C-alpha cells in the first residue's frame, strides 16, 4: 500500500487512476508521494518517508529542488499539460489590452435599467475603441510548450511573430510554425514589438530578465504580457514606465501589491492553467508519473533527477539507487551485490548535474542486510527496493 497526500486540490480525473494499492493521507509524515500545484514547499520539513513530489503543472519554483534531491526525493512536473489553457488566456490578454473590453462592459453594467441604453451606447462606444491584433508584431520570449503554442496561434491571427529562446528543444523547434522568425538577440524583440510575451521558467538566471533597461527599449505603444511568473519582470520599473506612458499596458496573471490597480495594468488571479482540461491533463500526467515511479522505479519528467526507465520488472528483484554523481559510485554498490552473490541482470545509470540514479534488475531478492549495506555506501542518498 502506498500513501500519498495532496497539498492542493488535484483533479479527480487523475486521482481516479490510483488503484486500491494507494491510500490518501492528510499526514504528510506518512506520505511517500506528494501531489502539489502552487503550494509552497520551501518552508516544509521534508519527511523521511517522502520519495516523490509531482507538480501537477509546469513551474517548480514553489519546490526546493536541490533540497529534495539531496534527500533522495524525486520531483516531477507535467510538461505541456496545461500549455493550451495558458495559450488561450494569453490571446485573451492581448485582446483585452488592444481594446477597452472591460471598460465597455463596466459602462454597460453602470447603465442597467436605462431604457435608452442602446441609443446611449452608440454615443459612448468611441470611448472603448481600440486596435486589432492582425498586422501587429508579437515577440515571444521562451519557446517551450506555451511559447510555441502562443507563437503559432498568433501567426493565424495575422500577427508577425518573432521568437527568442537560446535553449530551444528540438521538439519545440519541430513544432514551431515556419512563419515565426527566430531572433538571436532579444533586444530586437524589445525594440520592435507591439506585444511582448514571456514564457520562461523562474530561475536565478531569469529573475527580473524583463529589466528596467529592457523596458526602456520598448515602444511607447508596447504591451507586455506575463503569464509565467511575476518575479521575471522588474515590476517597479514597469509600473513607473506605464505611469510615464513609456509602455502601454502590462498584462499579468500574478496579482501583487506592486501591480494591482496601477495605471495600465490588467491583472488576472493566476488562472492560466485553471481550465477543466488543463487541470485534468496535469493530474493524469502527475498521477501516472508517481505510479510508474512507486511501482516500477521509473523516472519520467523529473526536474531534479535524470529520467531513467527500465519498463516493468521481469526479474526476481529490482532496486533503485539515488546517489551523488561522483566517480567510483557504480563500483561501490555493485561490489555490495557481488559480495552478496547477487547477479545484476540489467542496469541503467543516468546522471544530471550533481545527482544520478541507477536502476538494477537482480536475479535474487535483496535481503534487509544487503539493503542496509547499499544505504551505507558513501554518496548514496536513497535506496528503494521496488521488487
Ligand atoms: N499562468 C499560469 O497559470 C502558468 C501555467 C503554466 C506555466 N506557467 C509558467 O510558464 C512557464 C513556462 O511554461 P512552459 O510549459 O512553456 O515551460 P517549458 O519548459 O516548456 O518552456 C520554457 C522555455 O523557456 C526557455 N528559456 C529558459 N531560459 C530562457 C531565457 N533566458 N531566455 C529565453 N528562453 C528561455 C526554455 O529553453 C524553454 O524552451 C513555467 O515555468 C511557469 O512558470 C504559468
Ligand atoms: O506553472 C504552472 O503550471 C502554473 O503556474 C499553474 O499553476 P497552478 O497549477 O497553481 O494553477
Same domain, 199 and 255: yes
With respect to residue 378, please indicate whether it lies within any of the assigned structural domains.
yes
- Mean residue pLDDT across the chain: 97
Same domain, 207 and 218: yes
Same domain, 236 and 327: no
Ligand nearest to the CA of 253: 1
Same domain, 211 and 255: yes
Give the pLDDT band (50/70/90) at residue 230: very high
- DSSP letter at 232 equals G
pLDDT at 266: 98
pLDDT digits (tens, 9 = 90+) for 129-160: 999 999 999 999 999 999 999 999 999 999 99
CA distances from 253 to 128, 197, 348 (A): 23, 12, 41
Rg (CA), the chain: 25
Cα-to-centroid distance, 164 and ligand 1 (Å): 12
pLDDT digits (tens, 9 = 90+) for 242-278: 999 999 999 999 999 999 999 999 999 999 999 999 9
Ligand nearest to the CA of 38: 2
Give how many domains the chain has, as a whole number.
3
- Which residues does a 6 A CB cutoff place in the pocket of ligand 1? 57-59, 79, 82-83, 86, 141-147, 164-169, 172, 199-202, 206, 209, 227-229, 253, 270, 272-273
Of 57, 74, 54, the closest CA to residue 66 belongs to 74
Cα-to-centroid distance, 94 and ligand 2 (Å): 20
Same domain, 256 and 294: no
Task: Find the helix or strand (DSSP H, E) in which 286 lies.
Answer: helix 276-296
Same domain, 40 and 171: no
Ordered DSSP codes for 196-228: EEE-----TTTTT-B-HHHHHHS-TT-EEEE-S
CB-based contacts of 381, cutoff 8 Å, min separation 6: 69, 70, 71, 72, 322, 323, 324, 355
Same domain, 287 and 379: no
ipTM reported for the complex surpasses 0.95:
yes
* Closest residue by CA, ligand 2 atom 1: 59
With respect to residue 193, please indicate whether it lies within any of the assigned structural domains.
yes
Using the 3D structure, point to which of 248, 267, 286 is the last residue of a domain: 267
Same domain, 192 and 162: yes
With respect to residue 92, please indicate whether it lies within any of the assigned structural domains.
yes
- Please give the residue range of the domain that contains residue 377: 308-387
With respect to residue 169, please indicate whether it lies within any of the assigned structural domains.
yes
Give the domain CATH number at 380: 3.30.70.260
With respect to residue 11, please indicate whether it lies within any of the assigned structural domains.
yes
pLDDT digits (tens, 9 = 90+) for 336-372: 999 999 999 999 999 999 999 999 999 999 999 999 9
* Closest residue by CA, ligand 2 atom 6: 273
* Closest residue by CA, ligand 1 atom 41: 201
Cα–Cα distance between 342 and 362 in angstroms, integer? 7
By the 8 A CB rule, do 50 and 34 touch? yes
Of 132, 174, 119, the closest CA to residue 152 belongs to 174
CA distances from 318 to 175, 221, 298, 321, 360 (A): 37, 60, 11, 10, 6
pLDDT at 31: 97
Same domain, 261 and 320: no
Ligand nearest to the CA of 272: 1
pLDDT at 215: 98
With respect to residue 103, please indicate whether it lies within any of the assigned structural domains.
no
Same domain, 44 and 181: no
Give the domain CATH number at 222: 3.40.50.720
Using the 3D structure, point to which of 257, 282, 304 is the last residue of a domain: 304
Of 97, 220, 197, the closest CA to residue 148 belongs to 197
Same domain, 329 and 383: yes
Q: Ligand 2: which of 77, 272, 286 to mutate, most ligand atoms within 8 Å of CB?
A: 272
Give the pLDDT band (50/70/90) at residue 115: very high
Cα–Cα distance between 263 and 280 in angstroms, integer? 36
Same domain, 253 and 364: no
pLDDT digits (tens, 9 = 90+) for 280-315: 999 999 999 999 999 999 999 999 999 999 999 999
Quick one: cell of 208? 527580473
CA distances from 192 to 162, 183, 186, 200 (A): 10, 12, 10, 20
pLDDT at 173: 97
CB-based contacts of 118, cutoff 8 Å, min separation 6: none
Q: Hunting for cell 516493468 — which residue is that?
A: 312
CA distances from 103 to 131, 225, 231 (A): 15, 19, 28
With respect to residue 330, please indicate whether it lies within any of the assigned structural domains.
yes
With respect to residue 101, please indicate whether it lies within any of the assigned structural domains.
no
Q: Taking residues 168-192, what's their average pLDDT? A: 97
Amino acid at each position: 500500500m502506498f500513501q500519498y497526500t495532496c497539498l492542493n486540490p488535484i483533479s479527480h480525473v487523475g486521482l481516479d487512476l490510483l488503484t486500491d494499492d494507494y491510500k490518501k493521507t492528510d499526514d504528510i509524515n506518512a506520505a511517500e508521494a506528494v501531489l502539489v500545484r502552487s503550494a509552497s514547499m520551501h518552508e516544509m520539513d521534508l519527511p523521511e518517508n517522502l520519495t516523490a513530489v509531482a507538480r501537477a503543472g509546469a513551474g517548480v519554483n514553489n519546490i526546493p529542488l536541490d533540497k529534495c534531491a539531496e534527500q533522495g526525493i524525486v520531483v516531477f512536473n507535467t510538461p505541456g499539460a496545461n500549455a493550451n489553457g495558458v495559450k488561450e488566456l494569453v490571446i485573451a490578454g492581448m485582446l483585452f489590452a488592444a481594446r477597452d473590453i472591460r471598460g465597455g462592459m463596466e459602462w454597460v453594467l453602470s447603465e442597467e435599467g436605462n431604457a435608452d441604453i442602446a441609443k446611449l451606447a452608440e454615443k459612448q462606444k468611441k470611448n472603448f475603441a481600440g486596435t486589432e491584433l492582425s498586422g501587429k508584431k508579437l515577440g515571444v520570449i521562451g519557446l517551450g510548450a506555451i511559447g510555441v503554442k502562443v507563437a503559432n496561434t498568433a501567426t493565424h491571427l495575422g500577427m508577425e511573430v518573432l521568437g527568442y529562446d537560446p535553449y530551444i528543444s528540438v521538439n519545440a523547434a519541430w513544432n514551431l510554425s515556419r512563419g515565426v522568425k527566430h531572433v538571436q538577440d532579444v533586444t530586437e524583440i524589445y525594440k520592435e514589438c507591439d506585444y511582448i510575451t514571456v514564457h520562461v521558467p523562474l530561475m536565478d538566471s531569469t529573475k527580473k530578465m524583463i529589466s528596467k533597461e529592457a523596458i526602456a527599449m520598448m515602444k511607447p505603444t508596447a504591451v507586455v504580457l506575463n503569464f509565467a511568473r511575476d518575479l521575471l519582470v522588474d515590476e517597479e520599473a514597469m509600473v513607473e514606465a506605464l505611469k510615464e506612458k513609456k509602455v502601454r499596458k502590462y498584462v499579468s496573471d500574478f496579482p501583487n501589491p506592486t501591480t494591482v490597480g496601477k495605471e495600465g495594468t490588467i491583472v488576472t488571479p493566476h488562472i492560466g492553467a485553471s481550465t477543466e482540461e488543463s487541470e485534468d491533463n496535469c493530474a493524469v500526467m502527475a498521477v501516472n508519473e508517481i505510479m510508474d515511479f512507486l511501482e516500477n522505479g521509473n523516472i519520467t519528467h523529473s526536474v531534479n533527477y535524470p529520467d531513467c526507465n527500465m519498463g516493468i520488472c521481469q526479474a526476481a528483484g529490482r532496486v533503485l539507487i539515488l546517489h551523488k554523481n561522483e566517480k567510483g559510485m557504480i563500483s561501490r554498490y555493485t561490489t555490495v551485490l557481488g559480495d552478496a552473490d547477487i547477479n545484476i541482470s540489467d542496469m541503467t545509470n543516468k546522471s544530471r548535474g550533481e545527482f544520478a540514479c541507477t536502476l538494477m534488475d537482480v536475479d535474487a531478492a535483496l535481503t534487509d542486510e544487503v539493503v542496509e549495506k547499499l544505504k551505507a555506501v558513501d554518496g548514496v542518498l536513497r535506496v528503494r527496493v521496488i521488487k
